[in-house]
Every structure is written in structure tokens, then in C-alpha cells.
Chain A
Amino acid sequence: DAKTTQPPSMDCAEGRAANLPCNHSTISGNEYVYWYRQIHSQGPQYIIHGLKNNETNEMASLIITEDRKSSTLILPHATLRDTAVYYCIVRVRGSQGNLIFGKGTKLSVKP
């Protein structure tokens, strides 16, 4: 079973920041938080991952709480193309093991 809890759906206005929360209260010390998204009719796509420090790349920012029990994915300026299901996954970094997906959060970006 997935080790994360996410809200089933969220809305965001185009151009505004989208903040997607994730709870992972049972995360282990060697597990990273990964975020993937799945646009309609496509396979999941990697977004970002982190251990305990905040991370930023060209797609998004990841904020992890100090106790590592929750995190927030931030899309700073959401566009219509960001409408997708976002999955938060905990996984041992570098592991060749599979990703265990939950149901994710369906983000709808509205004009």
C-alpha cells in the first residue's frame, strides 16, 4: 500500500501558485519523497524529489517539513497544461525497486 496521503482533488486559478500537500508520517530515514504527475492519456512523469532540504528545479519546488512527516509541492505559476494527477511517493533513493502509487491529487487549473 502507498505510504502517503493526498487530497483527492484541488483547483487552482491559472497564473497562481498551486500548493499540493502530502502526508507521509511513517517515512523512514533513508526514504526520499518523490513527486510524479500524470497528464491525461500519458504515462507518469517525474517532477522532483527530496530528502529533508527544500528542492527547486525548472518544474516545481518541494518543501519538506523539519520532521519530514509532510511535504508540499509548489507549482509557482500554474498553467492549463499543469492540469494532471499528482502523485506523492516515498522511496529509498537509488533503489531499483518499483514506485508504489496511491490515488494522487487531481489538480484542475482553471482559466
Chain B
Amino acid sequence: EAGVAQSPRYKIIEKRQSVAFWCNPISGHATLYWYQQILGQGPKLLIQFQNNGVVDDSQLPKDRFSAERLKGVDSTLKIQPAKLEDSAVYLCASSPRVRTSGRTGELFFGEGSRLTVL
């Protein structure tokens, strides 16, 4: 099966500019996650969607970050305006509905979008 697709792979912007990342999860996966991974650290959850509803956005800096998942399929993450500390890899992951799939609830990650803010 096709994996989680993300774009762009790399983006360089100046501080105070805006940027958007796109994610297309594995077909049929109900849950979608956006993680931020700063160099040398493990990924940290920004927001979790169940279908097109937000489950957890407690760690999303809402003054500058926004995310949506229209129609419960693909998703976009936007940063406006960007700060130097937003330089990181933004990872998208998806997981199937446990009850219907019988899967373990494991997450499937994309390759990430690397953001550099100058």
C-alpha cells in the first residue's frame, strides 16, 4: 500500500514569512497526526485529527500555527508568521481505526518536511 505522502520535503524561508505543509495519509486511515521534530530531539505532537475533527491540539502554538483536515482525508499545516525556533522537521503520521482493522494502533509516518527559518 502507498505510504504517507508529504510535501514539500524541504523549505527555506525568512522569519515572519508564512509556510504550508501538506499531508496525504494512507487510504482509509481515520487518525492523522502532525509532529514537530527539532534537531536532536524526539518528535513532539502538534495536533491529532480523528476524521476531520480535532482530538488533541494542546501543544499547538495557536497564535502562529494552524491545521485543517478537510473531508477527513488530506491535511495542511500552516505557520504564519514563522520564527527562528520553528526550524524543524514536520512529520505527518496516520493510523487505521483499530476496531475495524484489527491492527495494533501503530502509526505510519511520512518522510517529513524540513523547514529552515533564516
Q: How far is the CA of A80 from the CA of B3 in the complex (A)?
A: 24
A-B contacts at CB below 8 angstroms, number: 59
**Main SS at interface, chain A:** loop
B31 within 8 A of A: yes
One digit per residue, 1 when the CB lies within 8 angstroms of any chain A CB and 0 when it does not, for chain B 22-60 equals: 000000000101010000111111001010000110000
**Cβ–Cβ contact B55 & A96, under 8 A:** yes
Q: How far is the CA of A49 from the CA of B107 in the complex (A)?
A: 12
**How many residues of chain B have a CB within 8 Å of chain A?**
27
A21 within 8 A of B: no
Query: Which B residue sits closest to A49, measured CB to CB?
Result: B104
The interface size bin for chain A is 20 to 34
Across-interface contacts of A41 in B (CB, < 8 A): 111-112
* Least distance between A84 CB and chain B CB atoms (Å): 13
Q: How far is the CA of A32 from the CA of B105 in the complex (A)?
A: 11
Query: Which B residue sits closest to A100, measured CB to CB?
Result: B45
* Least distance between A1 CB and chain B CB atoms (Å): 11
Q: How far is the CA of A45 from the CA of B4 in the complex (A)?
A: 12
**Cβ–Cβ contact B105 & A44, under 8 A:** no
Q: How far is the CA of A94 from the CA of B100 in the complex (A)?
A: 11
Most chain B CB within a 10 A radius of its CB, from A41, A43, A103 = A43
Binding site for B on A (CB under 8 A): 2, 34, 41-46, 49, 87, 91, 93-104
